[in-house]
A and B are shown apart, each in its own frame.
Chain A
Amino acid sequence: METLRIEGLTKTFGAGNLEVRALREINLSVSRGELAALLGPSGSGKTTLLLCVSLILEPTAGKIVFDGQTIFEKNRWSEVDIRRLRREKVGFIFQAHNLIPFLTARQNVLLPLNLVGIKGQKAENRVRELLEYMEIAHRADNLPALLSGGEQQRVAIARALANTPKLILADEPTAALDTARGAKVMELLKEVARENRTTVIVVTHDERMIKGFDQVYRLKDGCLNGDRERTV
């Protein structure tokens, strides 16, 4: 089953002399439980693509179908509550500063649960389960500033998973980590995709990180380079 389908997605910033064509006619499709990598050099449009998919940036043209629902078509958003869609069905992990600095690790994971109305013991249990899954439960009551980069990313993954999203979007989740820790975080993301049947799209510019991904999309100057390649 298809989680996300993008057809002819184009994003242009500015106009006239200042026009930047960040994305040109992008087509891609990711199925449930699939692990997709979005590879490309700096400025190739990776973040822009992610922002369009997560409904933060409005595409200039194209169509986005998410979880069977057309959310963008013919230059306009469909009648969907975008924030609600994000908090219920999408998880985010980004390069750094994912966590809210004034909340403890536990509270950071609790926040998305509270946002969808899960409270009390049920929420606490879910938080503990997630932190244990990410092997970070022993730091539950620390503020993010006291956690290492790798520990912070594990809390961020726990938070992204909290509401069992259909799609996890990760923008260079390993960029701020050393190779060993980065590899560990990638392993966790793969595990998440497999065990939870969650679709994961990871943006990275590090070729070494994409081992074991189901799909790899290569972006260059806003274009997908050739067809998607299947890795094994």
Chain B
Amino acid sequence: MDLAFQDLKLHKGRFIATMVGVGLLFGIVLAMNGIYRGVIYEGTALIKATGPDLWVVQRYRGGPFNEQSTLPEFFHYSVKSIPGVEKASPFIFYTVERMVDGQSRHFSIVGYDVFGGLGGPKKIVAGRPIQQAHYEMVANVKLGARIDDRIALGLHTYTVVGLTNDAVDPDGDPIVYLSLHDAQEVLYQQDNEEVRNQRERLLRTLSAQNWLTPDKAQKLLDPPGADTHIINAVLVKLKPGISRVQTARMVEKWLYLNAYGTKDEVGLVLKGRLTSMTHQLLLFRMLLLLISVVIISLVIYTFTMEKIRSIAVMKLIGAPDRVIVRLVIEQSLLLTVGAFLLGFVLISNTYSMFPRRILLLPADDAVTFAVAVAAGVLASILGLRHALKTQPAMALGG
């Protein structure tokens, strides 16, 4: 015969209502764990998936994800010439807002050397990698495109030849892979009308100078043109046994560039972009747990108050304190564990419907469960104190 359970049978409605309420709170706490892990996962997914030995970026810059880093494309030849470098590939990454399938979509474009260079998509779940120099793309299924779909970006149309399912940028938006030159074109190539307008503006500025004849000004309008051969980083693969740190130092000293290992790059992103976010989530989880403790305490306290006379009777007929402690704590734990299971089932069945990735880790669930159980015990203290102070003589009152 379980006293706690027998008592709860009489308060089924209130007990279940509280359990559902606290269960929702626990569900939110679990979801926040998942959001936290998801933010870290997505924030670093591209860096880890790309995973070169070194990221070479513009001098003094923490790029290419934390801030803009611009390098001339040919720099990858210079990097390649550093001793110990096996492969050095150009890499470009930027975020766009374009129409896809009639809808404005936010996503990122990665351009890489499709002929054996580093930085391409890691896992293709359908179709094939890019095999031609132009007009092919590999997209994340999250973009909503299917194989053989044709998507217009800027001046040209690109055919989807392959799909990934996990390539996301640090904001969790899908990534589209293009060949380096396509990516540069999408980023820099201007519309013809826009070019004409720009030339007109430049001509007027130049003609305003007295020392230029209109003829000469016209000639100055034909410089090599806007340089689209720009990249954001050079990805480096080192020969076996070559020190990452020493090569990075060489790159910095000889080429006046910065070089980071993939771990450093991940660290930069976590520290730079994600710290405040993660602190925020931690704080909210603590607040929610605190609220849960308060709610459970109050409910257990009222449950205990309502049976204070029964507790007095039990003491009178000689029940040891442990029977009474068990009665109170068991109810608190039933409430906590029930609520946790409810929240757990809820979030496990809905996490995939959230707009951003919720990464549920068994270890996080286990820690949260332990914290919840501790909270449940803590929450019973108020009721417990009262129960233990109850005088058995109270049972005899009229």
**A interface residue numbers (CB < 8 A to B):** 47, 50-51, 54, 56-57, 83-88, 90-92, 94-103, 107, 110-112, 114-115, 143, 159, 171, 175
Contact = CB atoms under 8 A, between A and B. Distances in A.
Contacts of B309: 97
Nearest to A145: B10
A86 B393 CA distance: 13
Interface string B1-32: 10100110110000000000000000000000
A79 to B, nearest CB: 17
Contact of A84 (B10, B310, B318, B391): B318
B310 A115 contact: no
Interface string B304-329: 00010110011111111001000000
Interface size, B (range) = 20 to 34
Interface of B: 1, 3, 6-7, 9-10, 307, 309-310, 313-320, 323, 391-393, 395-396, 398
Contact of A114 (B1, B10, B392, B393): B1
Nearest to B4: A102
Given A100-B314, A101-B310, A107 B1 contact: yes
16 contacts: A83-B320, A87-B319, A99-B313, A100-B310, A100-B314, A101-B310, A102-B6, A102-B7, A102-B307, A102-B310, A103-B3, A103-B6, A111-B1, A111-B317, A114-B1, A159-B317
Nearest to A123: B1
A85 B318 contact: yes
A96 B307 contact: no
B1 A51 contact: no
Closest 10 CB pairs of A and B: A87-B318, A86-B318, A102-B7, A100-B310, A83-B318, A102-B10, A94-B396, A56-B392, A102-B6, A56-B393
A51 B10 CA distance: 31
Contacts of A56: 316, 391-393
Contacts of B319: 83, 87, 111, 115
Contact of A86 (B3, B310, B316, B391): B316
A57 to B, nearest CB: 7
Contacts of B318: 83-88, 90, 112, 115
B317 A92 contact: yes
A88 B307 CA distance: 24
Interface SS majority for chain B: helix
Nearest to A97: B309
B318 to A, nearest CB: 3
Given A56-B391, A94-B395, A115-B318, 8 more contacts: A56-B392, A86-B316, A87-B319, A95-B396, A102-B3, A102-B9, A102-B307, A112-B317
Contacts of B315: 83
B9 A115 contact: no
Nearest to B392: A56
A110 B1 CA distance: 8
Contacts of B10: 101-102, 143
A87 B313 CA distance: 11
Contacts of B320: 83-84, 115
A118 to B, nearest CB: 12
B317 A87 contact: yes
A32 B158 CA distance: 104
A101 B7 CA distance: 8
Contacts of A90: 318
Contacts of B9: 102
B316 A100 contact: no
B317 A51 contact: no
B105 to A, nearest CB: 60
B162 to A, nearest CB: 65
Contacts of A87: 317-319
Given A57-B393, A102-B10, A107-B6, A96 B317 contact: no
Contacts of B313: 97-100
B4 to A, nearest CB: 10
Contacts of B307: 100-102
Nearest to A98: B313
Nearest to A100: B310
A54 B316 contact: yes
Contacts of B398: 95-96, 175
Contacts of B396: 47, 50-51, 94-95, 171
Given A47-B396, A102-B9, A171-B396, A92 B316 contact: yes
A92 B316 CA distance: 8
Contacts of A54: 316
A78 B9 CA distance: 41
A159 B319 CA distance: 13
Nearest to B320: A83
Nearest to B395: A94
Contacts of A103: 1, 3, 6
A100 B307 CA distance: 9
A72 B9 CA distance: 41
A152 B3 CA distance: 19
Contacts of A50: 396
A96 B310 CA distance: 12
Max chain A C-beta neighbours (<10 A), residue from B3, B6, B313, B317: B317
A11 to B, nearest CB: 12
A101 B310 CA distance: 7
Contacts of B395: 92, 94, 97
Max chain A C-beta neighbours (<10 A), residue from B1, B10, B315, B319: B1
A81 B160 CA distance: 83
Contacts of B317: 86-87, 91-92, 111-112, 115, 159
Nearest to A99: B313
